Structures are given as C-alpha cells and as structure tokens.
Amino acid sequence: MKFLEKYDFNSEDIEEFINITPKKMMDKIKDNQELIEANLSFLKGLGIKTFKEIFFDFPAIFFMDNSNFQEKFNKYVKESLIERLNENYKVVEYL
Amino acid sequence: MKIDIVKRVAGNFKQRDKDHVAEFLPVYDLINEESVNVLDKYKVTLTRNSQVDVLTQDAKTLEQTLSLASKMNFLDAYNENPRRLNILVADVIKRMSKCDAIGIPYKTDKGYANFLFSEKLFKEMTSSLTSEQKKIITPPSLDESKPNEEQVLDAIVTKFDFPQDVVIKLKNKLEELKEQDLSLKEKLMQTLAIVNPSDMEFLEKTINSTMEEMNIKEEKGLVA
C-alpha cells in the first residue's frame, strides 16, 4: 500500500486503511494497483479534497475501468461536483 | 459472477442502490456465500453496495466477531454500520474496556461511537484526556520476570474472557512449546490454535494487535 503515499496518504492513513479493509479487497487492490492509481490520480486531479475519504469508504468503485470511472464524474458540472463532494463525500456512492 | 449471490445480497436494497450494483460487481465477485449465511444468522442487514466488502471476509471470522458481539451485547453496532465488521473485534473490545475504565461513554441514543472502530479516531479522542485518565488506559509496563509470550497470552485470555479450563489448557500448551525453537508468534499461534484451529488469519491479527499494544517485538527462537 506504499503507493498511496504518492496521493498524500501518510503512514497513519495507510495503517488505518489496512485495518479497515478485508484481506481479499487488499489483495485485489494490490493486483490492480495501476488501475487504482489511475482512478485516484483522476479524482485528485479534479480538485476534490475528499478523495482520500472516498478511497477509504468506497474502495470498491476504484476497481471500475478508468474510462467508466471518469465518466461517472464527468457527467456533472465540475464546479458543482467538487462543491458537492467536498461538502459530503458520501454522495459519491450515488453519482 | 454468481447472479444468485447478487440477488440475494442486493435484493432488498432500495432502488437507488440497486441502480448502482454494476459499479460494485468486482466486490460481489469476491463474496464468500457462507459469510452471507453468518450475517443472516445474526440478523445483520446490508443496505448498500459499499457495505458488501464485509462479505469478502472469512465466514469464521465474521462468526467469531458476531458471536462475541452478541455475548457482550453490542451487536447493534454492526447493524448501525455493517462495515464495522471489517475491524478486528479484539481491538473494539479493547477500546470499550479502556473507555469503561475511565468512564468515557461510547454509546448514546445516536448509537455507538465511531472511535470504537478506528484507531485513528480513538487516538484523537484520547488526546484530550487528563494525564490521570491516560495513565489508567496505558498498558502496564512489561513484567521483566515473565516471558513475553506468557504476557501476550495473559492479555489475550483477559480480552476474550476465556473460561478457566480453557486458560489452563492454553498455558499448558505454551509451556510445552517453551523449549522449542519457535518465534514468539509461532508459539502463540500454535497455543491459540487450541481454541480456534481454523481461522489462522484471525489468530494472527489478534496476536499482532496485542503485541503492538504491549510494545513487544517479534523474537526468533530461544534467547541465548
């Protein structure tokens, strides 16, 4: 999970993530690291401040194919999307 | 992908959650069907796709967690937020004990506090305690006269409140293993396998967590 450091996760964040994530999910993340990173980069690049919280609580969506992942967010007006997710990141589950 | 498992798990979700199942299919693919049975047994209900990852856990681990929660009357915590099942139950119990020791409430009419299920939040909560309170919840210094493995075993036995006959069996087993060239963790794994022979992952996590709490490092073989 050291790759998460590239996305501003500190060691405490990473340890917390490992503690809350089932082993099979962790293994899948490791097996799909490139995809996970592509999706994390995209989300961070959008300017969404809560991208770490989104990854913590909704790691499953990061297994989406990168183009579908981008489409999930790009269908909204960027400014209002950012505002909405920064205010309440949990709505990401229903975008 | 087993369509039946998706229907079984998400069948009673609200429509807006059903509409998003496709995004979470990679996780549905990892589900242990036995784990679904365990949640049904304890009437823990999933309501969202984002909770489905708890079903990727080993069924025995879920059974242990829910069985303990049921005996200790905090099963409700897992219906409040089923993803809490991903947290090692030994750590949850340890935090509850610390809160009880210093009179910090962790259950209100709004439910169970999130800090019970997060080391990060628990540390934040305890950072505002008085020094006297911190002293109470800090693990005692190691007893230099007692081998580390015995101290770790004592701590685990206390945490899970094993009956006395089981405690005796565990101590006898550890005694048998004392002279063998095994690491501290190996001895504890073999000892605790008496009470839980099938879920080695759960045993390992419990041992690691207890050793970390007591600041005991792994050692290999016999001490020279």
Q: Which tens digits make up the pLDDT trace of B141-188?
A: 666 677 888 889 988 888 777 888 888 899 999 999 988 889 999 999
Tens digit of pLDDT for each residue in B187-199? 999 999 988 777 7
- Please, which pLDDT band fits residue B140 given cuts at 50, 70 and 90? low
Would the CB atoms of B119 and A19 count as touching at under 8 Å? Answer: yes
pLDDT along chain A (95 residues), means of 10: 93 91 94 97 94 95 95 93 94 93
Give the 3-state secondary structure of residue B112: strand
Look up the domain containing A42 and give its range: 2-94
Cβ contacts of A12 on chain B, cutoff 8 Å = 120
Domain count, chain A: 1
- Please, which pLDDT band fits residue B102 given cuts at 50, 70 and 90? confident
- Please, which pLDDT band fits residue B222 given cuts at 50, 70 and 90? very low
The residue of chain A with its CA nearest to that of B91 is A19
Tell me, what's the pLDDT at B223? 39
CA-nearest of B134, B130, B154, B131 to B142 is B154
CA-nearest of A12, A80, A21, A82 to A50 is A82
Tell me, what's the pLDDT at B14? 96
- B63, B96 in Cβ contact below 8 A? no
Average pLDDT of chain B, as a whole number: 88
State how far the Cα of B62 lies from the Cα of A23, in Å rounded to an integer. Answer: 13
Burial B78-96, CB ≥16 within 10 A → b, else e: beeebbbbbbbbbbbbbbb
CA distance B134 to chain A (A): 21
State how far the Cα of B1 lies from the Cα of B6, in Å rounded to an integer. Answer: 9
Provide the 8-state DSSP code for B43: T
Would the CB atoms of A19 and B56 count as touching at under 8 Å? Answer: no
For residue B200, what are the CA distances in angstroms to B20, B94, B95, B197? 35, 20, 23, 7
Q: Is the pTM of this model over 0.90?
A: no
The residue extents of the domains of chain B are: 1-74, 87-138, 148-213
Cβ contacts of B49 on chain A, cutoff 8 Å = 60, 93
Tell me, what's the pLDDT at B26? 93
Would the CB atoms of B119 and A64 count as touching at under 8 Å? Answer: no
The residue of chain A with its CA nearest to that of B26 is A63
Tens digit of pLDDT for each residue in B38-81? 999 999 999 999 999 999 999 999 999 999 999 999 999 999 99
Would the CB atoms of A16 and B53 count as touching at under 8 Å? Answer: no
